[in-house]
Amino acid sequence: MDLSIIKDFNILEEALRQAAVLAPRVLMGFLVFCAFWIASIVFRKIVLRLY
């Protein structure tokens, strides 16, 4: 096999490994963002009812 193909495969393998490690963090960040977004909608409705 050509050595450059093995290097490319190792780079791809490492990128996939890092993506798998970062995926839970990205998902958790997205869920926190959604929670605050929903909370802001609820808070806005509460404030608008008070006035």
Looking at residue 1, what DSSP letter applies?
-
Tell whether 47 is covered by a domain. yes
Q: What's the domain count of the chain?
A: 1
Confidence (pLDDT) at 32: 98
Q: What is the pLDDT of residue 1?
A: 52
**Residue 46 is assigned to a structural domain of this protein:** yes
At residue 2, the pLDDT reads 59
Tell me which residue of 24, 26, 28, 48 sits closest to 36, measured CA to CA.
Answer: 28
pLDDT tens per residue across span 1-51 = 556 777 778 899 999 999 999 999 999 999 999 999 999 999 999 999 998
pLDDT at 28: 98
Which residue segment(s) compose the domain that 40 sits in? 24-51
